[in-house]
Every structure is written in C-alpha cells, then in structure tokens.
Structure 1
C-alpha cells in the first residue's frame, strides 16, 4: 500500500476520543501521514498517539475533564431530550459552519487523500463533500439510527416479537429521528455557504459519506438488524487511553470488581459513592476509577475499595470478576472482550441502549442510576453467583477476538484512499437520502 495522507477530526467527546485516535495511530504505524483536527484540550492525547494535532480555530473548544469548560454540559439537562438537544445544537448542527470552515482551511493548506471524522461532526462531513474528497465517518458506539430488523435505538427497547412489535418499531422510528429537525436550518446554512444543496433531514447528512465504520462488535448488536450498504462493522478499538497510567490493585485475594463511571463529567459522584458503599458490604476487592473529571480524594470508600483517578482497564480486567459501569461503550466492550460480565448503571447519552444490548446478550444486568447501595450489592452478587453471565461474556469475548484479529478499520480506510477521489466515486453513501428504515 502506497503512503497516503489522512486528515482526522474529533472533538472533546469523552469516550469517543480513544477509538478515533486508535485508528489514527494504526494508520500512522502503517507509514501513512496522519494529522488530527481536535480541541486543544486533546492535543497532548493526540500527540501521545504519535500523530500531529491541529487546533480548531472557529469551531467550539471544549474540555470534558473540566465541567466549566464542557461545551455540551449535558449534566445540566433535566431530561434526556434536553441532553440530546445540547449535543445537536452545540456540536452536531449548531456549529457546523465553524467545523466546515476550519476543515476546509486545513485541506486547502495541506491536502489529504481521505477525511476521517467522528460521526457527530456533520460540519466536517460538509467540508469533505465540498472539497470532493473521500470521507469516512467513525461511529464509536452502537449504530445510533433506526434500521429494519431492530427496535429504534435510544429508548433501550427490547427487540420486537410478532406483528405488534414490528408495528411499534415502524411507528417509533420517525419519532426517534424527529428531534434532529431543529438542527436542520443551521446545518443547511453551513452547506449552502460552501456551495452544497440543502439536505431534507439531518439524518440524511449523516449518510453523505463514502463509508461509515462502526467501531463496535457486530456480535453485540441484534442478529437480524439490517444496515445501509456503505456501513461496515470493523470491530471495537480496545486500546487504553494514554492517560490510563499504571495499574495498582487493592490488596487481598477476594474477587476483584472494577468500577468505572465515565471519563467525562456526568455528575456521577453520588453514584460512585453508592458503588463504593455497596462493595464495602461484599467479600470482594473494589478498584474504582473516577476518570479525569472527578477527584478521587472526594470519594468516600471502605477499606476494601481502592479509589484512583485512572487505571489501564485492559490490564485490570485480566484480574476482574465483574465490572460495574455506566455502560459507556468503551468500558462495556473492553469488559466483554475480556470475558467479564457487567452490572450496568446508565447515566445518560447512549448508555441505556448499550446496557440493553448487554442484557439481551445475557452478559450482564442493569440497575437504575438512582439504585441504593443495597440494590447495587445484590446485582453484583447475582452476577457473581450465576455462571450464565460469565458464560455469555466469554462467548462475546470469543466473537470479539475473531472480529479484531485483523484491523478492518485500517483496511477499509486504505481501500478508500486507493479509490478515485471526488464526487464520481459512485459509492452508495453519497446518494442515500436517509438511513435505512
């Protein structure tokens, strides 16, 4: 494969960042030229991946490790719809013109063969379309749009059974997409400013790319679900972030429970303390990682629970019997890849959906974010005591191992770079009016 130049784009989106940088690093290790447009708060992490960071100039600059500097501040929202609106208006659609302007300026200064963006950056997609170069979107969680063969993502619904269930799915699909509508004027303003025709819906814009690469295990999604032709499941990225540090385990030989609730701020201090209290009532060792957004010194914990800001989860999971997680995609999938079952405590975002898929797969259970320490302790006891959860987690681990035996994301991006550039590529994604379903 000849050397190509890739321009990546990401934003301070917490768990979405490490998978994007993992792909960028893998391409760099293959000898390609790689640089990454990113918030300045991410530049140290980008450089640690061995690639060149480039700063946004007019697009938003955020830092999810500091609540005051978080662009979205979804922890201030009172409802899931309010949290969604903040993502739509502050990252996806509202600042699309700024993202497009910055990306085009970088492409004019230093052309690239392929533009690769975290899939929420529709302004970056707009720039790639205007520049006429191949564009790939990286979906860093379960595919988040309605498709045939599965319940509409978001509410955490169980798969339909029978005609009434399928009718439910057909009726709910447009309702799930409807809240995107308020972002359409800003998105189309960005498009027309760069000589592109308006799109009929925001959902359409997510698919005006040449490839959508889903960095999630196909085995975790529903078997009968059907996807757009330009979408590829390429397996999860299992690397730990550069800031994970060294592993320190709590003393003793009791079963290890790894607990982790988001690398970004989600107002999770209460839940962290409830988990610590729950583990204090059990004959286990607890390793509780707070992430960079919460000071571990502020978390009260019993003697059998070690609280630390970070730890390399991949190494810790070799010792773990259970993971307690907010069901962020990264932590959930790393646990499953290690064959470790889960107790899920979803806090928001895509986490209810991830938790539902874990439950349907039989690899874990879910408790409310308002669950008491006693309820959390009972959930841990249940997962430890019922071997079916371990069995199903190990089944998924085997499937994930097979899926990640080769780097499919790199192979797809290199193939995309090898095609003719421009708008005449004839890739289905350029002509798809909306997501399937």
Structure 2
C-alpha cells in the first residue's frame, strides 16, 4: 500500500544527491514523496521526478555561490571554527525555524514518515512533536562516537591498549564539547513544541526512530558497535542531475579522474596544482571543477581535459586513479568501481573519510597545501603499486553485495507500515 513521505534536506553540497536518490527510489515504488529544501536545489528535485517545497522561515542558501552560502565555512580559520558555523547556522541556531516550516508541511498534507538529512535537528524535532515516525539519513561515515572505534572526525586508526583507549576517551569529550554552545537554541525549539528538554546536542541526534547510514559498513571500522536504531543501508551511487554527459580525454594512457567539492571551499588553487601535477605525468586527466569553480580558471596541460562536470560513476569505469578531496560521494563511487585514490582533504568530514581510505589500503593522503610535485609523486606511488587497486577492488566487492538490494527503501517502508507507535 502506498505511503506518504516528507523529506527534509538542505543545500549541503554532496549530501543532496544521496538523499534525493532515496526519495526517488521510494517514488518509483509508487509512494507519495515531497521534499522540503532550499530553492537552490529545487532543479535537482524536479529532475528526480519529485515535488519540491521551499523553506519559508528556515535559512536558504546555495553552497556553489560564496555570496549565497549559509555556512560560509571557507571563511573559518580552524576546523573547530568551521564546525561551529555548521552548528550555529544549520544544526542548532535555526532549529526552531526548521521545526516551524516542517510542522506546517506536516499539517498541510498527510505524512506517514518524515525523513530528514542527519544535520537537520530542527526538522527532526518537528516530526517528534507531531508523533510520526522519523528517520534521519547520514550521508557519510557515522559522525558520532560509538564503542569500538576512535572518535570520528580526525581520521584515526583504532586504538590499541590502555593508552589508546585513554586517547579515545579524552578525544571523545573534546569533540563533543563544542556542541554545548548550540544546546540553548535547540532546547528552545524542543520546549517550544511541547517536547522535553535534552541533556546534550549529540543526544538529540538519537531522538529518531532510525538513523540510516548511507555509507558502506565495510568502509567503517570492523570492530565498531552501533545501537540497533543505527543501520547501515549502503551507499547511493547515482550521479547528480547536473553531472551532464561523459567526454573522455583522447588517448590510451591511464585515466586519472579529478573531483573536488561541489560546493565552494577555496579550491581553485588546488585544482591548478593538481592539473600541473598530471601535466608532468604519462596519464590522461579528466578534471571536473564542479559548479563552484569556472573551468576556464584552470590552465589545462595538453593531457588534461577540464570540464565543469561529468558523470563520475561512468567515468570511473575507465579510470586508473581518482584524485579527490575525499568527499564521501566521490570516495564511495571510486571504491565501488575498484579505483584507488589520492585524497586531498579540504575540511568537513573529509579528513575522516580519507583516513578510512588509507586504513582500507585503497589510497594515500596528501595535504591540501601540497605542491604539484608532491601531488604528482603521490599519483605515481598509487599507480605503480597494484596493492592499492587490489584493496579498492575488495571494497568494490563488499559494496556490490551491500547494494544488491535497496535497504534504505526497505527500512523506510517498514517504518511507514509500523505507523506512529514508537520503537
């Protein structure tokens, strides 16, 4: 029997395509699906065959345009400063506005399940207040501490021995402390909608019926433990609607696909250094700048094709290597194709994702300030050592098994069938 799903998401760059992938899959099975989102992503929503609804009081942004970006984390001087902007401008600060808009839409049309992008605690608050099942979609490696793994965000290897476990306890406290400044605004959103206060912001992320992690379980630490309501449902591998058609550079040299953030992260200079690095090597380069950077701003060597976009899923079928900022979307698409990586994290969750690539043996990491020569050396290292491709192929096999069925859709349909009773 068809159900009605309301999705709530925001212009979060790489977080948008996997959320819309799940929404589209539900619509294709005959369910009613509508999507609350920033107007800047309404084109993608329509292209997915879905109904867009605009936020009215919650913030609206466009991360591909620095002037319209809500978070503007590219202005932050430290990783903590960047995280504070996400906290204050999306997760906690406008939580009451997100809750107000979401509740208005829940009252406007029947809804069986509310599905929120993981960072939208305000929207999840509305679902809790309305008494309907709520699922959140985590579009990267699960971003909070759980037993059996180091605190996320730093790209650390699992701890060994008493000293390592002490490290994890101390770092877990340090990584959760900055959330405390967001608690008053989130608390006001909750109490203003008749909900009980909570003890911390991280606790609020657990006030949902399901957290569906859109990341391969095999990509996370093997010994990591999760409570039952957190479930890995596999990566979403579709390309965004704006990816366009595939044109490959001429020749038969090994293909290196380059993709940095789809949102603005001051990546122009790094793109140029990567282009220069590939220009010094016997490879073909397909360098995609994304919507935030003009392809004409990158001086292309003769062996490098620079374009605004390309369908990475298709391009990676031909690739020997990916050079990436270690955004989760590009990373899992590369792994699903068995393609090893050179990771150049720019910020956000990318240091953590790059750490998992390294621990899997599927690539190396270089700093975002690395010279063209250092990037070229990293490319040579990965191309010359077949162990990296072997490790990437092992991950590809695991991803193929995990995505053989659509677990995200199955979980959401089960929530809808269960009805408003709490778990």
Q: TM-score, normalised by structure 1?
A: 0.96
What residue is the counterpart of 2:31 in the other structure?
Answer: 32
Secondary structure at 1:138 match in 2: strand
2:264 corresponds in structure 1 to 265
Question: 1:31-50 to 2 correspondence within 5 Å?
Answer: 31-50=30-49
Give the conservation status (yes or no) of the 8 Å contact 2:9–2:35: yes
SS in 2 for 1:365: strand
Query: 1:159-308 maps to which residues of 2 (within 5 A)?
Result: 159-308=158-307
Which secondary structure state, in structure 2, belongs to the residue aligned with residue 212 of structure 1? strand
The whole-number CA distance in structure 1 between the counterparts of 2:166 and 2:77 is 30
Counterpart CA distance in 2 for 1:119 and 1:420 is 21
SS in structure 2 of the partner of residue 317 of structure 1: helix
The Cα of 1:417 is off from its aligned counterpart by 0.4
Residue by residue, what CA displacement relative to the aligned partner does 1:320-368 show, whole Å, maximum 9, x if unpaired?
0000000000000000000000000000000000000000000000000
Instruction: Give deviations 1:125-156, integer Å, cap 9, x for gaps.
Output: 10000000000000000000011111000122
CA drift of 1:420 comes to 2.8
Query: 1:44 aligns to what SS in structure 2?
Result: helix
SS of 1:62's partner is coil
Residue 206 of structure 1 and its aligned partner are, at CA, apart by 0.4
Q: Which secondary structure state, in structure 1, belongs to the residue aligned with residue 317 of structure 2?
A: coil
1:197: Cα distance to partner?
A: 1.2
CA shift, 1:111, in A, is 2.0
- Specify the alignment match of 1:144 in structure 2: 143
* 1:289-368 superposed matches below 5 A: 289-368=288-367
Q: What secondary structure does 1:406 align onto?
A: coil
Q: Counterparts of 1:420 and 1:66 in 2: how far apart (Å)? A: 41
Alignment length, in residue pairs? Answer: 423
Per-residue CA deviation, residues 166-186 of structure 1 (Å, 9 max, x unaligned), is 121122212111100000000
Match of 1:93?
92
Q: Give the CA deviation at 1:159.
A: 1.4
Residue pair 2:147, 2:225 contacting (<8 A) in 1 also: yes
Deviation of 1:305 after TM superposition, in Å, equals 0.5
Q: Kindly report the root-mean-square deviation, in angstroms, between the aligned alpha carbons of the 2 structures.
A: 0.6
Separation (CA, whole Å) in 2 of partners of 1:361 and 1:162? 21
What is the CA distance between 1:75 and its match in structure 2? 0.4
Distance of 1:19 and 1:343 partners within structure 2: 23
Give the secondary structure class of the aligned counterpart of 1:394: helix
Structure 1: 4+ residue segments shifted above 4 A:
none
